[in-house]
Amino acid sequence: MAALKFHDRIRALGDVPAADATVLVACFGQRDTGTEGQHKQAAEILSALRDRQHWLECQCRDDSVDPKPLMSPRLREGQIHIWRHGVTPHAAGCPFYVEATERDVTAPAQPGPVTAWDGDWLLLKAMATGIPERVPTTGERAPAARSAPAVPALARLLFSILTDTGYTTVAPGDVVTRRDHPAVSRGKEAYAGLASIADRQVGKGLRFRDVGCTFLPGLPRHLESLASMAKRFPEGVRPQGLFLGVVNAIERVDNHRSLLEWRGGKDDRVATTTVEGTVRRSGFEKGTSGPFWVIAQLAQQRPGGSFVPVHAYAHPVLSRTVLLAVDSGLERIAAETLLRQINYWAGDKGPGVQVQLEKPLFPEDAGDGLFCHPDFVLWLPGGQRILVEVMGLEKDPDYLASKAVTHPRMRRLRGVVDLVEFRPDDDPFTFGRRLTSLVLKYKAA
């Protein structure tokens, strides 16, 4: 039986009770022999450790080894488990010992261009067995260098779906715009585009309509239906589903759970659901309010259990009726201005120019291994385009320095005739007149 000590990431603090160590071995040792009651007890033990920010030190190596094998509680896909740290391996006879070949030592993804998702939409791996997804190279996490945050697979999948279903572009007449009023969709059903993915194959023998839900009030019934779907999943694939839709707000319940809230209908009814794991946010401006596009993974937290949302990714959307993704509150203001302008340019009182607005969700290859990601694109007739960059961090010298490098690069992209910056203190109507002069200029060219 393994002897364990509590550890505060600097030193050992004291012994883990033998009964608790027995439970942890049964549930997270080389073989899972734990009963349902032991799994519940193990989850409570690890949750308490996580709340205290404590680790476990295994005593399978003698005092000449420094550090001794360390383990920590981790929450993954809504399920708490043990993460074996890779500095010092457990002794071969230890119940927590894992062969090196069984460890996933894949290095963290390097920064690079975000690409469209290609492949199955069933992203969840098999239930956690206690083997980490990645083994860190040191026991202590070094301060991270400032860099672009990694984009989760769920975000790439959401961006790909929105791009494929046409939610990244708006043509003149698609929305109704009035001065001092937010834009609204001209169509009666703004979510109709999601119907096009119903027959999309998301895994072997499975379509989105089998595992997917796009309406939060309908999610409880969908979660119940997934239980009967479990037997249809291919061998080795964890039974799972997807929620993809718009919610009004996201409220953090505690460190491990968040509440998704939907409001709608003539009686403004409310529907909510709890995500048991993390809800990742857009890395651009985490304080941006709803509504949001949300994509959530649905699965059992333990074999035979109920299906629940286990984690999710959320990205701000312009409004509940105009489902154009935005990166921040300032982009919402810019998008409203641009929508008014494309309607004006195409209307009877405008210059009669058809201009389409695009919100690209993936960066564009600028050549020589460089990539650019414009905030908005105004597509003029003939393939010409004007880029609109929303300058949200004007007082950040690093941000301004990066824009000084990327903006000239953007101007060299295919078909770009101009680049315009939208700043926090810009008057939207003055900015609109400025854009009109450019549209007239390039229309005549």
Domain assignment present for 74:
yes
Q: Are residues 307 and 168 in the same domain?
A: yes
Is residue 122 domain-resident?
no
Domain end marker among 286, 316, 346: 316
**Which residues have a Cβ under 8 Å from the Cβ of 188 and sit 6 or more positions away?**
none
213 and 289 belong to one structural domain? yes
- Are 220 and 357 members of one domain? no
Any domain includes 138 = no
Which of 316, 349, 380 is the C-terminal boundary of a domain? 316
| Same domain as 309, residue 285 | yes
Distance CA 92, CA 81 (A): 21
pTM for the model: 0.72
User: Does any domain span residue 135?
Assistant: no
Residue 404: inside a domain, yes or no?
Answer: yes
Domain with 90 in it: 4-102
The single-letter DSSP state of residue 317 is B
Q: Is residue 308 domain-resident?
A: yes
Q: Is residue 322 part of a domain?
A: no
**Residue 256 has what pLDDT?**
80
For residue 297, the 8-state DSSP code is: E
- In sequence order, the β-bridge partners of residue 55 are 7
Residue 350 · residue 344 · CB < 8 Å: yes
Q: What is the pLDDT of residue 128?
A: 47
Asked whether 274 and 219 are in contact (CB, 8 A), the reply is no
Residues 285 and 203 in one domain: yes
255 and 369 in a single domain? The answer is: no
My answer on whether 341 and 310 are in the same domain is: no
Q: What tokens does 170 get?
A: 């708006």
pLDDT 10s digit of each residue in the chain, 445 long? Answer: 689 999 887 788 899 999 999 999 988 887 778 888 898 899 889 988 887 888 899 999 888 887 888 888 877 656 778 888 766 888 888 988 876 533 333 233 334 567 788 888 998 877 644 333 333 333 333 333 333 445 678 999 999 999 999 999 999 989 999 888 899 988 767 888 899 999 999 988 899 999 999 999 999 999 999 999 988 898 878 899 999 999 999 998 987 889 999 998 777 789 999 999 888 887 655 567 889 999 999 998 887 889 999 989 999 999 999 999 999 999 999 999 999 999 999 999 999 999 999 999 999 988 877 888 999 999 999 899 999 999 887 777 777 888 888 898 899 999 999 999 999 999 999 999 999 999 999 886 6
CATH of the domain at 437: 3.40.1350.10
312 and 387 part of one domain = no
**Into how many domains does the chain fold?**
3
Same domain, 172 and 241: yes
**54-79 in b/e burial notation, b at 16+ Cβ within 10 A?**
bbbbbbbbeeeeebbbbbbbbbbbbb
Tell me what pLDDT residue 81 has: 80
Residue 146 lies in a domain: no
At 119 the pLDDT is 82
- Same domain for 272 and 364, yes or no, is no
Q: Per-residue b/e over 278-309, b at no fewer than 16 CB within 10 Å? A: bbbbbebbeebebbbbbbbbbbbbeeeeebbb
Complete DSSP assignment for 66-120: SSPPEEEEEEETTEEEEEE-SSSPPPTTSTT---GGGS--PPPPPS-------S-
pLDDT computed for residue 109 by the predictor: 35
Residues 166 and 300 in one domain: yes
Are the C-beta atoms of 346 and 339 separated by less than 8 Å?
Answer: no
- Considering the domain architecture, whether residues 312 and 352 belong to the same structural domain is answered as no
**Residues whose CB falls within 8 Å of the CB of residue 189, separated by 6 or more in sequence, listed in order:** none
Q: What is the full DSSP assignment across 234-276?
A: PTTS--EEEEEEEESEEEE-SSS-EEEEEEETTTTEEEEEEES
Which of 293, 316, 339 finishes a domain? 316
